Amino acid sequence: MTTIIDGKETSRQVLQNLHVEIEQLKQAGHTPGLAVVLVGEDPASRVYVNSKVRACEELGIYSQKWTLPTETTQDELVQLIHQLNADTRIHGILVQSPPPEHIDEQAVILNIDPRKDVDGFHPINVAKLVLEDPSGFVPCTPLGCMELLRVYGIPTQGKHAVVIGRSMIVGKPMANLLVAKNANATVTIAHSRTADLPGLCRTADILVAAVGRPGLVTADFIKPGAVVLDVGINRVEDATRPRGYRIVGDVDFASVQPVCSAITPVPGGVGPMTIAMLMSNTVKACKLACGV
């Protein structure tokens, strides 16, 4: 029978453990702090930002939410980041992606102190991931995927992992985590130019779909017994739903579930782990800053 990998329950366990750790830090005089910055009026981004602030409140993490108008200039945003870099109450800084088109997102990332880059996007943290330096920060979504594999006892050593997607947010860091010495998988990165994508995916013991195309991965992509991690979060129109849409992944769950041994649903799989890992990175940043 196929195992449904429950990201909601796993994230609840992660946050429960973090709550204990945060209370211990507070008793020692250290309160983790996270600043979340939103530029513009994107409704989905507002939802994500509010959920991150709410998670901080529930855990007892000090939080600042900065909501800036769409017309905020690059210089104004960078000035705020420098202010947050210097604020000793803040251990993590997150600028919600994507910003308005006139904002150079990479330039923004470069101005975040890498010791406060809890998204793990600064080049110094990217290098630390490649070098397997544990003092760096790993992007939250792939880190959450690895936690799900660990919690569910899914072995990676000697396994062939195929990652569909080559973004710096998920695909590339996911591949680096899987190939690292503590995971020891053999990794192939696939993308839009990959020849015979279904055939390549059928060689995977672990398949990670992170490409942003609803229902791309169907049963003919799956080797019987493979583990499937669906990172996709896509809105598709659905007139039967009150909001007029539903959320689906990159995997056609109905056709893939009978073939694989374990799978993450969407929603309720990888998604909840992303915020949990952001909270975890914030606690880690506090501990590193305080020398705990």
Catalytic machinery residues: 52, 96, 119
3-state secondary structure of 4: strand
Q: Who's near 136: CB < 8 A, 6+ residues apart?
A: 114, 120, 124, 125, 127, 128, 129
134 token code pair:
């544990």
Is residue 276 within 8 A of residue 11, CB to CB? The reply is yes
3-state secondary structure of 133: coil
Q: Measure the CA–CA gap between 250 and 228, rounded to whole angstroms.
A: 11
Angstrom CA distances, 224 to 1, 154, 186, 256, 262, stand at 12, 15, 18, 10, 11
Is residue 120 within 8 A of residue 140, CB to CB? The reply is yes
Q: Measure the CA–CA gap between 191 and 209, rounded to whole angstroms.
A: 10
- Residue 144, phi then psi, degrees to nearest 5: -65, -40
- Residue 268, phi then psi, degrees to nearest 5: 100, 5
Could you tell me how far CA 80 lies from the centroid of its own chain? 24
